[in-house]
A and B are shown apart, each in its own frame.
Chain A
């Protein structure tokens, strides 16, 4: 089990109940009563579910059975959604229930990106994140959750893990139970009895072709993620997904684009400073004085715009600053970007008031902030515990390289026009960073990923839905890099659009592929 060093200590107030559930698949008859009872109790709209019953047909005739898997929030002791939530809209109650407060949800979807079980969704009616909360509103008045009450075969049990008389406590202690994806270190409090591996592992089964399940259509859409895999499945036994619901990938093109704009915003500053430091550009030249801060501010503004636009509740974005949950990298990132923006604003002010050298002193603060702006996304993505592709220790340095590449690409034409002496140096940075970027990507592709999920994501990126985006992006960056080595000015200038376009495509492929792997 991977346990992160910085894991949150579990709230272990040992008085009061600690709620857990058991899903007994050896009793479950796949009737979907829990699904509709939950929809009724919690008024869950069509197209989303707090709980559902997937089924996998395992084996070959006549040795074949339909294995059911009731799927829902695992009420993790170490809940990644709680850690990732910027406003504490997702929070853990002392009784172990991971609950949520819709009134302070900004709709950033970080919880969805973090949940290894894909148990959270945005409610299309109120645009806030939602999931199973064990019917906390019922537990608090002494009633069992709706699904437990309705289940015809008593396959769903709720109980207090601290109460030795509770059936759940007895079964947790005495019976061979399973949990979903223990390797995520989340310590789930939803236990399974008699579940088939092919239902617990979202990659175990083959996803049927033809847009069909055995009695339902497969929901379609570019970002609808169903369970199972179309090609190789993760089970040596025959296993065919016969019913499932789909999940929407949390972050769309706006997040892909944000990594790009933000890379440019930090890169232009860092590259300009680098050129000044190594004599490639003048500290009093237009590159450092004007191009860097203006471009950085412009792209930070774009970055902020994209981020707010991506929120389901854009008007609530200020809650990040008024009720920050400091473990969230979304919060940390917002403060980093804010601080970086402040430095840039000062820098511009300094330039406007003509007090030249002060801007270099400002770089003492500006440099680490720009670097942090470039790399924090690596931590933000890593906090999305569900997405194995992003659990990559090389992601921060790679993001820094991407940022330098983007910054150099933006600055190069400025240099060509306004500070020709700096042009060659800018091209060197551009060419070198492009080469290093390609090296990182090559490593990503050629090294076997540790987990099946990361491998699946890589497959989606290089051979699946995002292959064209990915390979075009890679080719454009390579072409841009090669342009840097060409003596012809016009070709050298072409490096900028090639690299920038290539990087944008790469970001999109990388961000979306990681989210295209089924988790539930």
Chain B
């Protein structure tokens, strides 16, 4: 029995022993008691990155999915979901979804398609990839992924092909937040223990979005109702700000100034955890660098520390942020009261909005580092400690190539690929792409400079073949050569683990109907047999494609996709995951045996497994004596060993600090005479001072500091306001939720939030009035939403809306029909019609009552790569005015020449590896990098060295 939240004798879910055959009463036939029999099959939501558990109800009579509830066996989501969980059903039954492989029949982008077969598509794509590999054009194969929703599978595929072809969305999403965390602790994500905190400090909107919305919202509200105080920094009134005990709405970009003022207060009042700072900060390294002659004792550092931030008074922060001194002082007092129970979190938000936003994350973590609230109950853990990535059946070697289209010379410290610069880099002739996969990713719509993306797609010399792996129509798929339908959440297999709280868990997404039929003893060849139409899934697609790239194994690729049990045959889903569950997940074999199942059957039955709970402070763990062989200890206490790294079933990516001069690997750090694990940073400690930043050309950012944003008032021209274009709604998720009618009914437009006083200043603007928002490269025309819920001087526009289609095909329930006109560098989008009801297999599409679909603002944004993190800095300096004569709702006009100038201006801020690398490499090897190439590929080529 799963007792429900109500504690009233009712269950929240059917008991697990009846999941094979559960009888419920039909809600539509009610009050007639018509029984329906279901098989309950767990899977995982595929909307946002939280990957919450779902439980699919498969109707035994019809063999279709009747509904999705939460999976009570899931350690993070605990059976609960947000609006998107149940709406997964819409996505499965969406009458507009793509059910068969399509090939374009006109020129690219013309909107005409013909049905093709998987065989034709696979052979065509495989031949091109094979040619690229054989002809040593490995860098011409690229896979561009939105939120992956899986750990490592596809990176493994690319590694097996030997291409450095991974491209992600991260630099338009979380790179700056990651960067701030990574320079402190090596690992690039926080795992905040909200439920046990005394103070929850959010520079994010985790009660409505973010990594990890539902799991974190549960725990934040739990913590708050257990007495925690909630502090939220947000320019606009988010749902999260609504629940804050202290909501500060600062001038956008001033967040780090506020954080440093709080830090300074803690320092000046001696309210920080002295012992923690002494033991765990690399203050000695800082002293050594700053003044090698100074006495290297903690007291010297403390004196320094008192001086370092003394200019960050509350008065200074108040001037920068526009928040009152009293409010700041009060918040500082609350932070100080947290002790080691400060769960802070920033993700996207200010970090993603501002030039130097990565310092916001760094300054926020500074508060945890001062209070010792690191890897404590109620504090913040490095993400990798709360994550479990099981070792897969094969581990191909690191690729031997380096792709300069994704990792250009200018951005050696970029946390992820410089994905959003791709059209500019292609235009500069830095390379070309022969086979480009977009996988559930929509750069045309989601990225800045969308017209630049369209232009790149329209030029076959830049992108030879575009394959869109997507379950639904998207603005990017319109410009594909092949559209290959991949499964929705309940039609695919993936493994994932996320740092939702102090625990390590593994979630298993599975193709529900396939699993249900296999439970009944049916044999399924591949997921297409059970999915609707010819919808497939990527796992099997990659295996098949790899076989066709290397049919005889001569390229050394095929072996990574071959069965171990039956050599010479294709690896199957069951063997791939069965192997992992049997060999790489501690405790799973025993648990499954106790329930009389194989580990795979157990995971198919439960959908998730908690490997370990309460991981605790791994950095304090002593290094086992067996791991210390011929160890050396440097002057700062870093401990190196010659002992091999003990094998671990958990292959979660961890930074790789450099070995010592004799090649010993770093194993820990000596603190107060004990050799403990420490953190995966060069110093082994928390890095208040970053040697890496100094060595790679950014000495002024060696410490957590405040960088004035590109939208700092000093950088705004008179009359300009700051546009916050990043905010999210709880019901949508970028373009992935657009094919869920219930979600579209809830949110279907994105008016410009503008404060009452600004609306008055602009000539008595009223809600619904058309306004023209002018960016540095063009403008868009949108409706005004006059509100008290935003800081005066800033405007905000939710980025979920503004979907469009050019032709007949598309997601009609949430896409307006538009036209695009190009005259030289001037590109203009105009709307020809909004959303209308239409006839389909679902009678509900005739009941569509909304007509709007919002305005596509991202088209009007130039690229703003942060010179350090590589993050696109989303905030825009804009002019807002009443729409002009001739302006129409939904207009977007862009001058692409101006867009190029913006790119060049920001590019000039960068400090390239070729000029700053301390060791002739392209990038600090110790830092995390997806699909990390082999060390040799890190060497800068001769031309630059």
Contact = CB atoms under 8 A, between A and B. Distances in A.
Contacts of B85: 33, 36-37, 150
A57 interface: yes
Nearest to A40: B86
Contacts of B844: 45-46
Q: Which of A57, A159, A217 has the most CB of B within 10 A?
A: A217
Contacts of A153: 217-218, 221-222
A211 B768 contact: yes
Interface string A129-147: 0000101111111111010
B225 A27 contact: yes
A37 B25 contact: no
A29 B26 contact: no
Interface in B193-233: 207-208, 214, 217-218, 221-222, 225
A66 interface: yes
B849 A143 contact: no
Given A33-B86, A137-B25, A144 B12 contact: yes
B794 to A, nearest CB: 11
A469 to B, nearest CB: 25
A195 to B, nearest CB: 13
Contacts of A210: 766-769, 783-784
A434 to B, nearest CB: 42
Main secondary structure of the interface of B (DSSP, over half): loop
Given A29-B207, A212-B751, A148 B5 contact: yes
A421 interface: no
A151 B80 contact: yes
Q: Which of B89, B242, B756, B787 has the most CB of A within 10 A?
A: B242
A137 B26 contact: yes
Interface string B104-135: 00000000000000000000000000000000
A163 interface: yes
Contacts of B81: 33, 37, 150, 152
Given A125-B843, A137-B26, A217-B850, A212 B749 contact: yes
B86 A30 contact: no
Contact of B249 (A61, A137, A143, A146): A61
B849 A216 contact: no
Interface string B1-35: 00011111111111000000001111110111100
Contacts of A238: 788
B379 to A, nearest CB: 22
A200 B10 CA distance: 28
B11 A143 contact: yes
A32 B788 contact: no
A455 interface: no
B439 interface: no
B749 A216 contact: yes
A143 B12 contact: yes
Contacts of B4: 143-144, 148-149, 158
Interface stretch (B149-157, B275-283, B583-591, B740-748): B740-748
Contacts of B851: 217
Interface stretch (A75-83, A165-173, A256-264, A371-379): A165-173
Contact of B747 (A29, A60, A125, A215): A215
A152 B82 contact: yes
Contacts of B847: 45-47, 124
A46 B239 contact: no
B848 interface: yes
Contacts of A43: 27-28
Q: Which of A66, A165, A219 has the most CB of B within 10 A?
A: A66
B12 A29 contact: no
A57 B237 contact: yes
B852 interface: yes
B6 A166 contact: yes
Contact of A149 (B9, B69, B207, B217): B69
B225 to A, nearest CB: 7
A240 B787 contact: yes
B214 A152 contact: yes
A101 interface: yes
Contact of B798 (A40, A41, A156, A215): A215
A291 B748 CA distance: 58
Interface in B31-88: 31-33, 67-70, 79-87
A136 B26 CA distance: 11
A35 B746 contact: yes
Contacts of A152: 80-82, 214, 217-218, 221
Interface string A58-76: 0111101111100000000
Nearest to B72: A149
B67 A41 contact: yes
B789 interface: yes
Interface string A334-362: 00000000000000000000000000000
B237 A217 contact: no
B139 interface: no
B5 A154 contact: yes
B86 A150 contact: yes
A214 to B, nearest CB: 6
A132 to B, nearest CB: 11
Interface in B626-646: none
Contacts of B25: 137-138, 140-141
B744 to A, nearest CB: 9
A505 interface: no
Interface in B761-788: 766-769, 783-788
A183 interface: no
Nearest to B244: A65
Given A31-B730, A64-B237, A149-B13, A57 B767 contact: no
Nearest to B743: A36
B24 A137 contact: yes
A27 B12 CA distance: 19
B750 interface: yes
B792 interface: yes
A214 B751 contact: yes
A52 to B, nearest CB: 8
Contact of A57 (B26, B225, B751, B787): B787
A65 to B, nearest CB: 5
A215 B743 CA distance: 11
B87 to A, nearest CB: 5
Contacts of B80: 33, 149-152, 154
A99 interface: yes
Interface string A230-243: 00000000101010
Interface string B712-728: 00000000000000000
B729 interface: yes
B843 A45 contact: yes
B731 interface: yes
B572 to A, nearest CB: 33
A426 interface: no
A166 B28 contact: no
Given A31-B82, A46-B847, A150-B80, A215 B729 contact: yes
Contacts of A214: 751, 753, 785, 787, 789
B10 A143 contact: yes
In the A-B complex, the 10 residue pairs with the smallest Cβ-Cβ separation, listed nearest first, are: A210-B768, A166-B8, A159-B8, A137-B25, A144-B4, A40-B86, A153-B221, A154-B5, A32-B83, A210-B767
Given A41-B67, A150-B86, A208-B785, 6 more contacts: A31-B214, A60-B788, A99-B30, A144-B11, A168-B8, A209-B767
29 contacts: A29-B239, A29-B240, A31-B217, A33-B81, A33-B86, A36-B746, A40-B86, A59-B788, A60-B788, A66-B237, A135-B27, A137-B30, A142-B10, A149-B69, A149-B79, A151-B5, A153-B217, A159-B6, A166-B8, A167-B7, A210-B767, A212-B751, A215-B747, A215-B748, A215-B749, A215-B798, A216-B850, A238-B788, A240-B787
Interface of A: 26-27, 29-33, 35-37, 39-43, 45-47, 57, 59-62, 64-68, 99-101, 103, 124-125, 133, 135-144, 146, 148-154, 156-160, 163, 165-168, 208-212, 214-217, 219, 238, 240, 242
